[in-house]
Amino acid sequence: MADKIKLKIIGLSYSQTQSGAYALILGEEKGKRRLPIIIGNFEAQAIAIELEKMKSSRPLTHDVFKTFADTFKINVLEVIIYNLVEGIFFAKLICQQEGGTEKVEIDARTSDSIALAVRFNCPIYTYEFILANAGIVLDDDPNFSSDLEEELEIKEIEEEDEISIIPGEELEKKLDDAITNEDYEEASKIRDELNRRK
């Protein structure tokens, strides 16, 4: 079996290739390569709200899975992105029941696997051939910015400009409205702006 390469979540960006989709950016923990994976809006929100430690008004599907697993003492030990076929990533959950010795592999969509990985606080791995085929290698030059990073930076600036002129009280109300409407992406932006002002 090939050695596993540990990944970390770098961030989320609007996809420039697919309307209504997002690019989830993973990076190797001990390297400069980035692995962009196109995911849907729902999965992007499920990942983002957990990373931002926000609470939805009602449990999301991934939250229900986590509660179910906790109730029956099942733990997700790790997530492995194990294959790439015609641009589609394949992932699996490695699970184990508390007190048990047998590990069970569950096939899952990569986006769902990552959403669960952040909830179980478990590591994410892949293999060299996947990074070699789909990874973006960053230049050694510290001033270098890939197209992807430039896109993320521009997006952040645009969002900051949009909300930076709104008064604090109105921003607090917008935050409450965004959470009520389960628009967690917008709520995250507003919260970041409020924290910046403190």
Cβ–Cβ < 8 Å for 131, 35: yes
The packing angle between helices 61-71 and 110-120, to 10°, is 50
Q: What are the sequence ranges of the domains in the chain? A: 4-143
CATH of 4-143 among 2.40.160.20, 3.10.690.10, 3.40.50.1820, 1.10.275.10: 3.10.690.10
Cβ–Cβ < 8 Å for 54, 73: no
Q: Return the sign of the alpha-carbon dihedral for residues 174, 175, 180, 183.
A: positive
What is the residue-level pLDDT of the chain in tens, covering all 198 positions?
679 999 999 988 877 666 678 889 999 998 889 999 999 888 888 898 898 888 778 888 999 999 999 999 999 999 999 999 988 999 999 999 999 999 999 999 999 999 999 999 999 999 999 999 999 886 544 443 344 444 444 344 334 444 555 667 777 888 888 788 877 777 777 787 777 766
pTM: 0.69
